[in-house]
Homo-oligomer: A and B are copies of this chain.
């Protein structure tokens, strides 16, 4: 393995995943991962550009940043690339009106979006909102469309809360894909468009950036496919079984 200096040569920007890297979510807002508040502060004092690239879709960026600041992190809303605002841009560009199967905590991000007479479905990590009734409603909306369009805010398999592993949006995306015989459009990691938008916002080229995350697929492979370097932490959902 090459020395760290060599592996990080030419790096100008750092993209940080949030859940599992900065903190583990859970009851009462979750808890910072040991050392992460200090590590971020040190990064911010360095010459490196820092940006946050998250698939968080249970909270609006405002709520997410507020929670992280209360935990001690130096972070502001303008530094966060997240799937919900990226989805709103796509919906507006394509004139789509979504049926939303999302967590109440992120609903405010869609305030400016017309949801009447829906012609597509948007799903995000809805947590308890993934009831049979809500899934069936999303399914029925899709089946009534001539060309069903399904957006999924990320496609993570699961994440880790302080209470244990929790199903993410990905399994529910797969459920609707199978039920309707369609393929979802993923907005969020590991979509290349999503990483590219984060790089644009950071004003750093892919070969000058490193992604730090706990998800071998969403963070690591995704970033590498975009020409970035990537580093997997051993916190969050990291498991020695899931390195391949």
List residues of chain A with CB under 8 Å of any chain B CB: 126-133, 135-136, 139-140, 143, 157-158, 164-168, 170-172, 174-181
Contact = CB atoms under 8 A, between A and B. Distances in A.
Contact of A171 (B143, B168, B179): B179
Contacts of A129: 132
14 contacts: A126-B132, A130-B131, A131-B131, A135-B167, A136-B167, A157-B180, A170-B178, A170-B179, A171-B174, A171-B176, A172-B175, A174-B175, A174-B177, A175-B175
A157 B179 contact: yes
Nearest to A168: B179
Nearest to A133: B128
Contacts of A177: 174
Number of copies of this chain that the complex holds:
2
Nearest to A178: B174
Given A135-B167, A167-B179, 12 more contacts: A128-B133, A131-B132, A136-B166, A139-B165, A140-B164, A143-B158, A143-B165, A157-B179, A167-B175, A170-B179, A171-B179, A174-B175
Nearest to A128: B132
A171 B180 CA distance: 9
A-B CB proximity, top 9 nearest:
A171-B175, A174-B178, A171-B179, A175-B175, A130-B132, A174-B174, A128-B132, A157-B179, A171-B178
Contacts of A136: 166-167
A92 B132 CA distance: 30
Contacts of A176: 171
Most buried by B among A165, A170, A175: A175
Most buried by B among A139, A158, A165, A167: A167
A101 to B, nearest CB: 12
A175 B177 CA distance: 10
A174 B135 CA distance: 14
A58 to B, nearest CB: 12
A227 to B, nearest CB: 27
Nearest to A127: B132
Most buried by B among A132, A143, A174: A132
Contact of A178 (B132, B133, B157, B165): B157
A144 to B, nearest CB: 9
A126 B132 CA distance: 9
